[in-house]
Structure 1
Amino acid sequence: MSYNNTQLYLLISDLVRSFLSACVFLRLGILFPLTGPRFLPGGIADFFLTVYTTSVLLDGFEYVTIFRHVPKTGVPRTSGRRILATVFARVFLTAALLNYPKAAKNIAFSIVILCSSVVDFFRYTYNFYKVRTYGGSVGWLTNLRRVSYTFGQPVLVASEAALIFLCLRLVETEYGYYTDYLDYDWWANKFAFITKTVVYCYGPVFYLIYKTKVASLWKNTTKSHVKTE
């Protein structure tokens, strides 16, 4: 088979992100039994957050430069709204954890690592196979992708929301940003307002995206070879 430059880029991009997701999962499996959730961030946080954020930034880049201009057939693709929501959520959570790393000691951070690595691994592996076979798919891989998203994504989003809420609590109680002085600290004040807004919107936005995505994933299951991402 011969591939054009766009297909070669997608093959490499999906394969690398699938491999990195597997690396995150394996690293979690090795470190978590040894360190537990409180000390896990010291051995995996930087690597995970880099993979976690870069993956969706590449999704955004690919949507703007490639998938926005092609029909919804023949290649894996997703919706612009879901891409935008995912990019914002992951970038915001990464920024929050980098500013308030104590939140990463909570078990929710370990769950985020687990769920995101599993969901992303099957998604990018599916995308790679679909590009490589010019839109083909295999039943077991398609079903693994469906199941991982259907059950893993709600747990992932709930854990992300929990971490964002923990960061909000840290803004108000630790690192010198006590409640009595919150109004006098510009960064803490603005971050607290933005974080509260994000927490309130997280559930409704996720529900709308999730309902549409799951319906798309499980629609016409006997004709999955013509389905797109």
Structure 2
Amino acid sequence: MAKKVLVVDDEKTIVKGIKYSLEQDGMKVDSAFDGEEALELAKNNAYDMVLLDVMLPKMDGFEVCQQIREFSSVPIVMITAKGDDMDKILGLEYGADDYITKPFNILEVKARIKAIMRRTTKADTQASVLTFGELVINEEYRRVYVGDKEINLTSREFDVLEFLVSTPGKVYNRSELLHAIWGEDFPGDERTVDVHVRRLREKLEKSPSEPRYVRTKWGSGYFFQA
């Protein structure tokens, strides 16, 4: 089945270029040119990826991202014309999975999209369900529950959790996590890891300041407590 992507940018030439390129790779592409239109499309369609510009009319990309996160864990890649690191971190704070800075090469955009899609698509048909007390992780369907409540994680948050869970008790420093999950060529810095760990704790833990699952070994890094 063809992957479906929503491209959101008020610059129609950029949307047209991205749409054409993705369609050449067999993807289905919807377009939106303002924040309200993007949010409406995201509510009414099942997308495999959202490319979302920060600077949009009616509602900016950060607000759109935040509202999408209230009902969907679809991977979101923010597009920003600014080089300011805080813009990028703010995008991650609102639940974005990745970001691309303008001007960009369309080949880079496609590579980033395909990398995220590979991580979120499981070829294995047998579900692997891991249980740690009240925490239940379904690796095949990438769904997480605490007790009877499903927790809405972004694809990157799930990647962090899954990676830590794979070796309970093993401590990974920020650099190791950044390279393992975001890749060697990721342009962000180690604060990205801290943002995602903090968000994971806020979603999974009864007391985020005293975490039960995603723990810190001071001066060393993070680990999962089984």
> Does the alignment reach a TM-score above 0.5?
no
Q: TM-score by structure 1 length?
A: 0.29
Q: Which has the higher contact order (CA 8 A, sep 6+)?
A: 1
Q: Which has the larger radius of gyration?
A: 1
Structure number having the greater strand percentage = 2
Structure number having the greater helix percentage = 1
Q: TM-score by structure 2 length?
A: 0.29
